[in-house]
Structure 1
Amino acid sequence: MPTEPRPTTRPSLTERRKADTQMEIARTAAALFAERGATVTAEEIARTAGVALRTFYRYFRTKEDAVAPLLAVGVRQWIDSLAAQATGPDAAPVRAALEQAARQALTPADEPAAEALRRTRGLLRAMPASPALRAVWHRVHHDSEEALMPVLAQLTDAGQLEVRLAAAAANTAMRVAVEEWAAGDGPASGPQGPADLVARGMRALTAGLPELDDPKK
């Protein structure tokens, strides 16, 4: 059975303020990159976010790194959702839980979530002109794959190779779905929305992994 999660300590007020500042800079950077592309400077991001340039560099090494927290938060929510859906006596098989968690992550539940998807679309459109920005996108997805593997290992009796393949397949389905949606002009819902695209990709890429249908013994 999956182990019980360890109690977590609530972050201090200082830590929460730092996290809020970091995320505000990330949102500002994403909006500026989406609007103006790679010509945006760290100075402009800091000024628009209302922080000193030295504060910006306290959190981020480069202007492109500033968007990483915004991209990573959705990844973390997706993995946490998977862990929650695939545990308990009535849990769905891992394959179904993967698809359900991915759909949930890419279906905006409110306006802030819809705005986050729009920011991601704008960032992706700015990436062809910015290899450094594209590198951040791929680094976030690499980290996502690494974080997904231990979760899948807890949820299935599959071997190490199958767990790695499942993590790679699920992560690739998420990345490609968002990239395909971002390349067009369609809404965030419907058959060409990211949620439907990720479901199609997940089924195609995990079809050769029957271990994802077996409950953990």
Structure 2
Amino acid sequence: MPTAPRPATPSRLSRPSLTERRKAETQLEIARTAAALFAERGAAVTAEEIARTAGVALRTFYRYFRTKEDAVAPLLAVGVREWIDDLATAAAGPDAPPARAALERAARQALTPADAPAEEALHWTRGLLRAMPGDPALRAVWHRVHHDSEEALMPVLAKLTGAGPLELRLAAAAANTAMRVAVEEWAAGDAPADGPHGPAELAGRGLHALTAGLPELDRRKE
């Protein structure tokens, strides 16, 4: 999901080692570079160009990523993790809202650019999506990230509802699809990231439409 990485807070930290943090930072820096280049030049971008622009050796690039398209996955995955983290936070505690309200709030927050880096991340995502028709491998990365998002959503939704396995799967699929389609529709046009035609508004509308037949989302788990 195309949100800019937010500063880590103590509640979000799992105390990774210094080596792990450096590895993650390097991966994310390469991912930012790859996304910007794909947004600018489309499928013509090469792994060599990504590595050179990111300031790493080509062998370092291939230590982290199998292909040039794989390089954008960490940037997209950061947004997914933050969206699900926000939803998980909403699900915690006795005053948790119904799942439908929590989903819409988290979706709108994830897709509303709060600062310049977040707006830039959405700009890169628009460019990535426009490059995908000419690069099926890039589209495969996009769908893989969304598949992982759908899988990660189910246990979080289980904490918010008393829904059965089928309803949980349907709710996760509906929420994930609403987010994906909202970003794709926005990226296909020229509307700004905020406003009535931005991805946050489109996601809200999509969630309402796709989850209308799931009354379980309006019930708190007992």
Contact 2:29–2:54 (8 Å) recurs in 1: yes
CA offsets, 1:75-133, max 9 Å, x none? Answer: 11000101111322322111000000000000011111111111111100100100000
1:108 aligns to 2:134 (yes or no): no
Distance verdict in 2 for CA 1:9–1:199, change over 3 Å: closer
Distance (Å, rounded) in 1 between the aligned partners of 2:52 and 2:194: 35
- If the length of structure 2 is used for normalisation, what is the TM-score? 0.93
Within the candidate set 180, 192, 197, 1:187 is matched to: 192
The size of the alignment, in residue pairs, is 212
Distance (Å, rounded) in 2 between the aligned partners of 1:74 and 1:174: 11
Q: Which runs of 5+ in 1 are unaligned?
A: 1-5
Letter in 2 for 1:85: A
Aligned partner of 2:5 in structure 1 is: none
1:171 aligns to 2:166 (yes or no): no
1:32 aligns to 2:37 (yes or no): yes
Matches within 5 A, 1:125-204: 125-204=130-209
Aligned partner of 2:49 in structure 1 is: 44
Q: Give me the identity figure in percent.
A: 83
Larger mean CA deviation between 144-153 and 162-171 belongs to 144-153
CA offsets, 1:138-196, max 9 Å, x none? Answer: 00000000111111112211000000000000000000000000001110111100000
Distance verdict in 2 for CA 1:79–1:91, change over 3 Å: same
Q: Give the CA deviation at 1:8.
A: 6.4
Letter in 2 for 1:24: E
Aligned partner of 1:3 in structure 2 is: none
Distance (Å, rounded) in 2 between the aligned partners of 1:7 and 1:21: 20
Aligned partner of 2:126 in structure 1 is: 121
Q: Give the CA deviation at 1:34.
A: 0.7
SS at match of 2:59: helix
Distance (Å, rounded) in 1 between the aligned partners of 2:57 and 2:13: 32
Q: Which runs of 5+ in 2 are unaligned?
A: 1-10
